Structure 1
Amino acid sequence: MKHAETQSPVSFLANVARLPQKGLPVVVEADARQRAALAAEHDLLSVESYRAELHVASWKRNGVKVSGRVEADITQACIVTLDPVAAHIDEPVEALFLPEHSKLGREGFEGGGEIVLDADGPDSPETFSGDTIDVGALAEQFFVLAIDPYPRKPGASIEAAGDDQLEESEFQKKLRSLLGKS
């Protein structure tokens, strides 16, 4: 697993050296300090709740599979009005990990092998070193991917924002003239 420069506010290191046969259940419930750190780190007005329920289990010979869900209630600023916009995140978490020097992880890379990538298929396994994986940071990655990059308050539009309307219509005229449409 690639380590970030800074540690995740919801970091939870799972020891994967000797996982129980039925796997290891992990629950990460962020306290007020962690929620404030998540909000600051991801440009949110606030994070009202954050909970990740994960299951860490052995996969293939030396691999690890992490699955579960991350749920959160967040408040973002509307991109048009900057008013608060509430959102609920309920995102599945699914990831595979292989030890750094795993033969399974190198298959296809050595000997000029061909690698087939499927955009809709499962992600390739990540690698990790040592005996731990930060499953809290992994859940945070899925949380971030679920955040709406363009939150909009119901009824808010660029036209309703006022002065931007003129700029947009000038842009549309220019675009039409470039496309040769009148």
Structure 2
Amino acid sequence: MKHAEPQGPVSFIANVARLPHKGLPVVITADGAQRAALAAEHDLLSVETYRAELLVAPWKRNGVKVSGRVEADITQACIVTLEPVEAHIDEAIEALFLPDDSKLGRQGFEGGGEILIDADGPDSPETFSGDTIDVGALAEQFFGLAIDPYPRKQGASLDAGGEIEPAENEFQQKLRSLLGKS
């Protein structure tokens, strides 16, 4: 029995049962409602543009490789002043998928074999069931990871300033007087 997973604002279901040898190009351009939903989903003031260009291609025997880029122009609230901060996102996308009934997908990390992990290398393959993968949700994950979690307006500072400086100045003055320097 299949259950429907909640779909994100830029969901795009790709049928991967019979992919062309050269791959299936997918372009996702978010409309106004989708951009508003993306902004709400990722706690942004707004998303001005959003575009993902992907290639969904066969990988190994039964696997799927999704590669491409997601680009967006967003506006966030500065963590110091709450003023709008504009940012451009340009993030590479690369992910591997294996059917959940594949031998490698079933074994995973519990298969008893040795698995080498390169921290700078590609992520290990994810599994999927059925004949489809939501490549739009994948692009949105990479979009979310590229958002600066601490946006700061240029020149904004987290220094408390007024309360710390006088104490430091007072200390420095006492130190100078003890050392006999003025």
Q: TM-score, normalised to structure 2's length?
A: 0.84
Q: Distance in 1 between matches of 2:23 and 2:61?
A: 14
Runs of at least 4 residues off by over 6 Å: none
Length, aligned pairs only = 164
Q: Distance in 1 between matches of 2:4 and 2:116?
A: 28
State the percentage of identical aligned residues.
80
Q: Distance in 2 between matches of 1:37 and 1:56?
A: 25
Q: CA RMSD in A?
A: 2.2
CA deviation map 1:113-148 (0-9, x unaligned):
222222111100000000000000000000000000
Gaps of at least 5 residues in structure 1 are 171-182
Corresponding position of 2:87: 87
Q: CA deviation at 1:69?
A: 0.3
Q: Distance in 2 between matches of 1:162 and 1:36?
A: 37
Q: Distance in 2 between matches of 1:99 and 1:26?
A: 20
Corresponding position of 1:140: 140
Q: CA deviation at 1:4?
A: 9.2
Structural mapping, 1:26-37, within 5 Å: 26-37=26-37
Structure whose CA Rg is larger: 2
| Matching of residue 109 in structure 1 with residue 114 in structure 2 | no
Q: TM-score, normalised to structure 1's length?
A: 0.84
Contact preservation (8 Å) 1:107, 1:113: no
CA deviation map 1:90-111 (0-9, x unaligned):
000000000001112226632x
Structural mapping, 1:1-182, within 5 Å: 6-105=6-105, 106=107, 109-110=110-111, 112-159=112-159, 166=164
Q: CA deviation at 1:22?
A: 1.4
